[in-house]
Each structure stands twice: as C-alpha cells, then as structure tokens.
C-alpha cells in the first residue's frame, strides 16, 4: 500500500512539473471548461488557440469567461546589439493586450445582420380542349452569419381547369441552425404550417429539431480570381411531431427524420440545390412521407438582381385515403427578384 501511494505521488509531481515547464496560455470558457495551449492569434471576435491534443481551435470571445496569457521573462540584453536599432515601431492598429489586473478593452459592437429576400413569380396558361391556368407565388427571407442561420418562406399555389379549381395550397415555414465551435456539427430547429384543399387533410402543422453534420464544403476561384463556394453537402437527423386537421387521424404523431442538403455552384451565376427529408412516424412503421425539393437557378446578366429558376417539388405520403393521390409533384419555372 505504501509503495503504491509513493508511485501515485511521484506521478502527480511529474505531471505538475511538466505543466509548469510548459508555461501554457489558459482560456476558461463560460461553461467552466479549461483549455491550455498557445494563443497564436486573436481579434475582436475570435481567439485562436493551438491546443496540445485538439490542435487549432477558433473560440468566440462571447464564450470566454477569462484568459491567462503566459508572458516569459525578458531575455538578457546583448551588449553588442542596440535594442533601439532592431526594435519595430508599434502598430497603432494592433489591439493592445490588457495587463494582469487591468480591465479588458471594450469589445466593439457586432456588424448589423444583412437580410436577403427574394420574390418568385410563376404563371402558366395552357389552351387546348380545355383551358388550364396555374400560378405560384413564393417569398423567402433570411440571413446567415458564422454564428447562426435563419430563414422563413411562404408560398401560395393555385390551379384551375376552366372554371373548376383543381389545386389550392398555402404553406409557411421557418428554419434555424447554429453551428458548434470548431466542429462540423450543428443544431437546428424547423416548423411548417400547410393548407391543402385537395389532400387527405385540410391543414397540417409540423415541427422538429436535431443535429446537422457538415459532410463536405469546398471553395473555388472563378476566371476573375474571385472566390466562391463550389460544394456544400450537409446531413441532418432529429425528432419532431406532426398533427393534421380535417383528416381521419387528428392525433399528434411523433416522427423521426433524416435527410440531406446539397448545394453545387456550376459558376458564380449558376447554382443547383436539392433538399430531401424522410419522415417516419414512430408508432406506425407503414406511415411515412418523403419531401424533396430541387432547383436550378441562373442569374440574368443584363438585369441586376434577377434570375430564372427551374424547380421540382415532390411529396410522397405512404398512407392516404383511396380517393387521394399519394404523390404530389409540381414542376415549375419562375422569375426571381432578389432584394
């Protein structure tokens, strides 16, 4: 027993000596986590720490409780060297690091969030043995920063054959996502309300949340030397719920979901994106649905802020009444106005 105690004491002493010799910078997070390493860069928003095990970490200042930076003792001066000759003039734009016991400099306010909005218009008229008219109006708005992404959309679609209306659908939804620091993981939440006059239900409300994983992101450079994002692939999975009104089943049904999102830019002015999600009712394995949206969009060079879009929207419902189709497919072309 005494021999084991001596070994433990020697191990603790060796660990303490090793930590003392390393003279690391220490960053303490709001969560209480303590990170030791070398601070290699910092600005008003981010501190870059080279951790001995985790590697390079980019830490937002808002997540830092306090920092202890190691300052080695000044080396002895060489009498043959003139310190004023080799000294570099101070950079007036460089942020001054506060000394121990000194209050930190105030953090400048964050830049305002820039919102991007767009209006999509689609109108088709077909003349033949019968006259068919269909229209689609969509409004989207949102923003994306390093800390979070938020967007919402609303859409109205109507179709009529002569004087008989054959389709009328309205939907509005929101999506929010927040990436985790220095990892490919993120958390997300989303919700949607739908009205459909010719479906197995009159109204449907869905909400879900979970985790996302950044599978691939790759940048490229165009002919003018401007950098743009070429590939962006993300996977998502989580849990949620669905409730229908005006259907045979108006109970709240829990759902699991798994899906993916692909964004590919052929060039800075041409892009293709697709989102597909599989929703599985947890208490009935035969009850599921698959929602898919795919779009190709090209900017119009002569008209600033305008583009053309070709799109496809499809939903498959595994369980519907006999008089309601299981698949709802819409193919459209739209003029897009960007704000």
CATH number at residue 61: 2.30.30.100
Task: Supply the range of the domain harboring residue 309.
Answer: 116-338
Are residues 325 and 308 part of one domain?
yes
Look at residue 233 and tell me if it is in a domain. yes
Q: For the chain, how are helix, strand and coil distributed in percent, rounded to 5?
A: 10, 60, 35
In a domain, 216, yes or no: yes
Asked whether residue 98 falls in the same domain as residue 154, the answer is: no
Three-class secondary structure of residue 85 per DSSP:
helix
For residue 77, being part of any structural domain is answered with no
Residue 100: its pLDDT value, please? 60
Distance CA 7, CA 46 (A): 42
Given this model, what pLDDT does residue 152 score?
97
Per the CB < 8 A criterion, the answer to whether 213 and 235 are in contact is yes
pLDDT, residue 49, reads 83
Task: Give the number of domains in the chain.
Answer: 2
- Going by pLDDT thresholds of 50, 70 and 90, the confidence category of residue 97 is low
Mean pLDDT of 185-213: 96
Q: Could you tell me what percent of the chain has a pLDDT over 70?
A: 80
Q: What's 263's domain CATH number?
A: 2.40.160.40
Task: Give 292's strand partners.
Answer: 276, 314
pLDDT of residue 78: 46
Any idea which of 63-77, 160-174, 262-276 has the lowest mean pLDDT? 63-77
Nearest by Cα to 138 from 160, 156, 112 = 156
Q: Average of pLDDT values for 260-264?
A: 97
Residues 255, 151 share a domain? yes
Does 78 reside within a domain?
A: no
Q: Residue 85's pLDDT band (boundaries 50, 70, 90)?
A: low
3 within a domain of the structure (yes/no): no
Residue 36 belongs to a domain: yes
- Same domain for 100 and 149, yes or no, is no
Of 95-99, 221-225, 262-266, give the range with the top mean pLDDT.
Answer: 262-266
Q: Does residue 33 form part of some domain?
A: yes
* CA-wise closest residue to 155 among 188, 192, 189: 192
* Residue position matching structure tokens 């003039």: 89
Q: What spatial distance separates the first Cα and last Cα of the chain, rounded to whole Å? A: 75
């Amino acid at each position: 027993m005494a021999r084991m105690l001596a070994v433990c004491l020697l191990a603790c002493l060796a660990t303490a000596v090793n930590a003392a010799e390393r003279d690391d910078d220490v960053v303490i997070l709001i969560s209480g986590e303590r990170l030791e390493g070398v601070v290699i860069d910092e600005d008003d928003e981010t501190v870059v720490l080279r951790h001995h095990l985790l590697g390079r970490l980019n830490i937002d200042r808002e997540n830092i409780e306090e920092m202890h930076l190691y300052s080695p003792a000044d080396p002895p001066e060489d009498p043959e060297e003139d310190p004023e000759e080799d000294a570099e003039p101070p950079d007036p734009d460089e942020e001054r690091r506060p000394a121990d016991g000194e209050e930190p400099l105030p953090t400048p306010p964050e830049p305002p969030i820039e919102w991007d909005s767009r209006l999509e218009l689609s109108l088709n008229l077909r003349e033949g043995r019968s006259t068919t008219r269909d229209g689609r109006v969509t409004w989207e708005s949102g923003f994306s920063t390093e800390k979070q992404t938020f967007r919402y959309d609303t859409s109205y679609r109507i179709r009529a054959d002569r004087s008989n209306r054959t389709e009328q659908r309205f939907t509005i939804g929101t999506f929010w996502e927040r990436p985790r620091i220095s990892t490919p993981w993120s958390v997300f939440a989303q919700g949607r309300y739908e009205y459909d006059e010719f479906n197995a239900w009159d109204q449907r409300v869905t909400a879900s949340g979970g985790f996302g994983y950044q599978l691939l992101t790759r940048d490229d450079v165009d002919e003018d030397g401007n950098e743009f994002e070429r590939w962006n692939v993300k996977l998502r999975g989580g849990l949620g719920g669905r409730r229908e009104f005006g259907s045979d089943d108006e109970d709240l049904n829990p759902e699991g979901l798994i899906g993916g999102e692909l964004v590919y830019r052929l060039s800075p002015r041409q892009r293709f994106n697709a989102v597909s999600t599989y929703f599985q009712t947890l208490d009935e394995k035969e009850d599921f649905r698959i929602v898919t949206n795919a779009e190709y969009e090209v900017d119009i060079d002569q008209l600033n802020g305008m583009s053309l879009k070709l799109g496809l929207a499809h939903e498959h419902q595994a369980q519907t009444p006999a008089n309601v189709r299981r698949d709802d497919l819409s193919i459209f072309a739209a003029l897009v106005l960007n704000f």
